[in-house]
Structure 1
Amino acid sequence: MLEEHHRKCPSIVIDKLKALRYSASTIKTYSNFLSIFFTYHYAYQPQEITNEMIRSYLRYLIQEREISESYQNQMINAIKFYYEKVLGGKQQTYFIDRPKKSKPLPIVLSQKETILLLKSISNLKHKTILTVIYSCGLRVSEIINLKLSSIYFEENKIHIVAGKGKKDRYVTIANRTKKLIQIYLKEYAPEYYLIEGQRGGKYTASSIQKFLKKQSYSIGISKNVTPHTLRHSFATHLLEKGISLRYIQYILGHESSKTTEIYTHITNTGIENIKNPIDDFDFD
C-alpha cells in the first residue's frame, strides 16, 4: 500500500467518542482500526462503502490474514460505531457471524498466596495500591482514577465514580485497609488522587502491572499475576467465605449476574462437603 493511499480516522469519529465519554484506550483502538479499514478501501469515500464490501473485508481478514477473535471483534465494533453512531445509520446485520469467544477461567491466587504477596511488599505506595485493589475488588482503571474526595473514612466506604459501564457504586473499606491508607496519606500526602505519580497527576496502569509482576515472580508465584488477578481473587475468596453471588456482583460492579457466576467454577470450597445421593440408596 502506497503512503499516499493511507487514510486517517475522520476527526468526527474521535469527537463523537469523546462526547460519549469513551475511554482513551477505546478512542485509540477505534481510530486505529478505522484508519486500517478506510486505508484498505482507499479508492472509496467512507459513505460509498457498501454492506457487502464490509462483509467481504471481514472475510478477507479471517481467511487471508487469519486474525484473532479479539481483532475481529474490535474491527467490527469500530465499524459499527462509525456507521451507526457517527453517521446515524440503523443497526445492520451486514457482518458475518462473530466467532464464539472462548472463556477460559480467570487466574486467581489462593488466600495464602495473596497474604504472601501483600506481606512481601516493602514499598508503602505499592502495598497500598495492591491492598486497595484486592480488598475493594477494584479494576486497575478504578484505582488510578480514585480521588481523595471519594474516600469516606468515617463511613468506611469508597465511592467508585463512573466505573465500567458508567455506573457508580460504593464499596466498603476494611479496617486493615483504612489504617494502611491513613499511614500512606501521612507519608505521601497526595493532592487530588489517592495514588499519584512522582510529579503529581494520575499513576499509570502500566506501572502497577510492572511492579506487581516483578514482585510476584520474586516471591516464587509462577502464575501470570495482573491487577485484575487480585480482583478475581478477592471475588473468589468472598465466595469461599459464603458471601452470596448477588452481593459479590454489586461489589464488583458487574451488570450481569452471569459474569459473577464464573467464580463458582473456580472455588472448590464446600464441594467436599456435598453428600453424593447414592450414599442414601440401599441396594446392597
Structure 2
Amino acid sequence: MWKTIILKNDRFQKLPIIRLEFPYDFELKEIVKGFPECKWYLKERVWAVPYTPTQVSELLQYFKEKKIWLDYSRIQKVDLPDKHPELPQLDAPLHSEIRRFKDWLRNRRYSEATIKSYSEAVAFFFRFLNNKPPGSITNEDLEIFNRDYIIRRKYSVSYQSQVINGVKLFFNILEERVLDPEIIKRPKKAKSLPNVLSKQEVKDILQALSNLKHRFMLVLLYSCGLRRSEILNLQIEHIQYDRGMILVKNSKGKKDRVVRFPEILHDLYGEYLKAYQPKKYLIEGRGGGQYSARSLAEVLKAAVEKAGIKKPVTPHWLRHSYATHLHEGGTDIRYIQELLGHQSSKTTEIYTHVSNREMREIRSPIEDMDIKI
C-alpha cells in the first residue's frame, strides 16, 4: 500500500511555499529530504518546498517513482510577482506580420491550439528583441532568445521545442529565410512510461459509484479507450448502436476513427438514455450542453477514493490501461494503434513496455536451479 503525503499552501516569511504533511515515518522523511529545495522548518515543524507554477508536477514525478501518493487537492494556484523585466509591446508592423502568419496557418488547416502557440511564440521572440526588424534577425538572435528567455525562465523542454519550431516556420514562410535551430542543443524530452492500472483496480473504480451517469461515463472512457476531449465531444448521433461502433469525430490531428461499442455496454446505455434523455451531447451537464472536463475529473477522483486506490489517477490513465490490457490479452499492436487513433506505431509501442504479456513467459534463472528457498 502506498504511503500518502498531503500538500498544502502556506507562506513562510511572506514567501509562498508548499507544505508536505505526513505522520512521522523515518523512511518517508529520508525520501522527502531528497527532493531538491525541500527544507525542515523547525518553528512550524513541517517539511516544505518553495511554491512555483510547476512544483506540484515535479513533486508528483519524484514521489511517483518512490511509490508514494500525493494528495494535492488542497493546493491552489498562487499569483507570483514577475521576477523578470517586462517585455516591450509588439509594434504595429510586427502585429501585421504575425496576423499574416496566423492566416497562413489557418489556410493550411493547422489547429487553433497550434496557431495560438506558434503566433504567441513569434510575438515573444520579437518583443524580447525589442521589435528588431525581421530582415535583421540572425541565428545568434535565436541563440540569445533561447538562452536568456526560455532557459533562464526555466520553461519546459516541450515549450522550448514549440517556440523554436514556431519561429523557424515564421521565417521560412513569410521571410523566405531559414533560421537554423539545430545550432541550439535541445535537451531530450524525458521518456516516461504511461501510468497503468491493473484490471482489478479498474474494476474497483468502475463499480465504486452508484450514480448512473457517472458510472456510464467512466465505463465508456475505459472500455473504448477514449481521450477526455473525445468523450466530452461525443454526440448521440455518433453512437452506431446496431453496428456496435462509435464514431469519434475530429479527434487529435483532426482525424475521425471508429471504435467498438462493446455489447456489454448496450443495456447500460439504454438505461442511461431513458434516465437522462440527453439532447445533443451523449454526456451533458445539468442545464444541458457539453459536460465539463473539470466535472469529469472530479467524478473520477471520487470513484478512485471510494475504491480505496491511493494513486493520482487521471482520465488518461484509463486510456493507458485500456491499451495495455488489450496488448496483454493478445491484441496485435497494429489494431491497438487504430483503436487509439495514433498516427505513428511508435507512439503505440510504448504500451509493449508496460504490458507483462511477454514478461510472464520469461523464466528467471533461479527457477531452473535445484535450490530450496
Contact 1:52/1:94, CA 8 A, preserved across alignment: no
Give TM-score scaled by structure 1 length: 0.85
Contact 1:160/1:168, CA 8 A, preserved across alignment: yes
User: Of 190, 197, 222, which residue of structure 2 is paired with 1:109?
Assistant: 197
- After superposition, residues 1-284 of structure 1 pair within 5 angstroms as 1=85, 5-7=88-90, 10-46=98-134, 48-61=136-149, 63-84=151-172, 87=174, 89=176, 92-95=179-182, 96-274=184-362
Shift in Å at residue 21 of structure 1?
4.6
Shift in Å at residue 27 of structure 1?
4.5
Q: Which has the higher contact order (CA 8 A, sep 6+)?
A: 1
Of 116-125 and 7-16, more deviation after overlay is shown by 7-16
Give TM-score scaled by structure 2 length: 0.66
Secondary structure of 2:273's partner? helix
Separation (CA, whole Å) in 2 of partners of 1:12 and 1:36: 16
Structure having the larger proportion of residues in strand = 2
In structure 2, the CA distance between the partners of 1:199 and 1:78, relative to structure 1 (3 Å rule), is farther
Contact 1:107/1:223, CA 8 A, preserved across alignment: no
Of 241-250 and 52-61, more deviation after overlay is shown by 52-61
Shift in Å at residue 264 of structure 1?
1.2
Contact 2:168/2:180, CA 8 A, preserved across alignment: no
The RMSD of aligned alpha carbons is 2.8
Shift in Å at residue 42 of structure 1?
2.8
In structure 2, the CA distance between the partners of 1:238 and 1:162, relative to structure 1 (3 Å rule), is same
Separation (CA, whole Å) in 1 of partners of 2:162 and 2:113: 12
Separation (CA, whole Å) in 2 of partners of 1:201 and 1:15: 31
Separation (CA, whole Å) in 1 of partners of 2:118 and 2:296: 25
Of 253-262 and 209-218, more deviation after overlay is shown by 209-218
In structure 2, the CA distance between the partners of 1:189 and 1:38, relative to structure 1 (3 Å rule), is farther
Secondary structure of 2:231's partner? helix
Unaligned runs of 5+ in 2: 1-84, 369-373
In structure 2, the CA distance between the partners of 1:132 and 1:279, relative to structure 1 (3 Å rule), is closer
In structure 2, the CA distance between the partners of 1:19 and 1:208, relative to structure 1 (3 Å rule), is farther
Contact 2:221/2:227, CA 8 A, preserved across alignment: yes
Shift in Å at residue 103 of structure 1?
1.0
Of 251-260 and 122-131, more deviation after overlay is shown by 122-131
Shift in Å at residue 81 of structure 1?
4.4
Of 199-208 and 254-263, more deviation after overlay is shown by 199-208
Shift in Å at residue 273 of structure 1?
2.7
Residue 253 of structure 2 aligns with an amino acid whose one-letter code is G
Of 32-41 and 102-111, more deviation after overlay is shown by 32-41
In structure 2, the CA distance between the partners of 1:257 and 1:56, relative to structure 1 (3 Å rule), is same
Shift in Å at residue 19 of structure 1?
4.6
Question: What is the percent sequence identity of the aligned residues?
Answer: 45
Render the CA deviation track for 1:189-248: whole Å, top value 9, x for unaligned.
222221222233222223222332343134322222111111000011111111111111
Structure having the larger proportion of residues in helix = 1
Shift in Å at residue 178 of structure 1?
2.6
Separation (CA, whole Å) in 2 of partners of 1:50 and 1:94: 11
Secondary structure of 1:120's partner? coil
In structure 2, the CA distance between the partners of 1:126 and 1:35, relative to structure 1 (3 Å rule), is farther
Render the CA deviation track for 1:87-127: whole Å, top value 9, x for unaligned.
27466533413322111111111000000001012222222
Of 126-135 and 54-63, more deviation after overlay is shown by 54-63
Q: How many residues align?
A: 279
Secondary structure of 1:158's partner? strand
Secondary structure of 1:269's partner? coil
